[in-house]
Amino acid sequence: MSQSGAIADADAITLDLSTTELETQRDHITSFIEGVVDDAGADGAVIGLSGGIDSTLTATLAVEALGADSVHGLVMPSDVNTDRNMSDAERVAEWLEIEYDVLDINPIVDAFFDAYPEGTDDQMAAGNVRVRTRAVLNYFVANHESGVVLGTGNRSEAMTGYFTKYGDQAVDCNPIGNLYKRQVRQLAHHVGIAEDLVEKPPSAEMWEGQTDEAEMGLDYDTLDAVLALHIDGPLSKAATVESLGVPETVIDHVVELVEESTHKRSMPPAPAALHR
């Protein structure tokens, strides 16, 4: 394919969904959630609420699929979470009229830090303890209530490994895992989620002041475009650079994120079976 042909193909690849496509996605995801719960023989679903758009959209669609009485939200603050995000998480639960609990994870996290104080100064390691603690609580409540744990990960995060292994991806399913971050925002607008929640800068809040885009080194719109055109799509690196008007280093960075996180998307490896 010529480069001019490749650029023409780029024009045909869009992350923006039409109203009809958004409604189709809405039905597709709610049917998926209902199917997961039915197949598990569960009574409902548990979801961690962060005040961010991913958990807000997932919870909204879960209520559409299962009814408010069958969705249980958990707000799990720690000393690195902002008051605004925790307030927004409760606001979402109240807007959706679902049962929710606020579970302070600080005592649990502090117990880990007390057990192994050498790791407390490691920002990433300490942040992952917080994320994994929330995962344990999600399953504790879900097991007690015969529910499934709904993940809140999107396609962009999954492809780049932007999640904690056995943490926020320790879930039974990811209802919005087929959507790039840009499409998450579009669907959130479509289903009527408040504008300030849709446009809030995303943060995993693993430590104070952390934001997704600062940690990844690029904004989600650029990331999504590289994923759609080059990783998922047909364009070469050169064609993607020309189409998006970004340096080659941006493409290389996204490719590196995808390749280095392969282990996060796979079952733990084991030696091949030896045949006698």
Mean pLDDT by 10 residues, the chain (276 residues): 42 79 98 98 97 96 98 95 87 98 97 96 93 98 98 96 94 98 97 93 68 80 96 96 95 96 92 87
229 inside domain? no
Residue 235 belongs to a domain: no
**CATH label of the domain that carries residue 196:** 3.40.50.620
Q: What is the pTM of this model?
A: 0.91
Give catalytic residues, as residue numbers: 54, 157
CA–CA gap between residue 6 and residue 109 (Å, rounded): 50
* Res 205: pLDDT: 63
How many separate domains does the chain show? 1
Residue type, 206: M
Residue 200 covered by a domain: yes
In a domain, 238, yes or no: no
pLDDT at position 3 is 39
First to last CA, the chain: 49
| Domain presence at residue 272 | no
Give residue 81's pLDDT. 80
One-letter amino acid of 200:
K
pLDDT at 209: 67
Residue 264 lies in a domain: no
- The domain in which residue 136 lies consists of 16-206
**Other CB atoms within 10 Å distance of the CB of residue 263:** 11
168 belongs to a structural domain: yes
Contact 9, 232 (CB under 8 A): no
Segment 207-213 long-range contacts (CB within 8 Å, at least 24 positions apart): 207/80, 207/123, 207/126, 207/127, 208/80, 210/80, 210/127, 212/162
Let me know if residue 116 belongs to a domain. Answer: yes
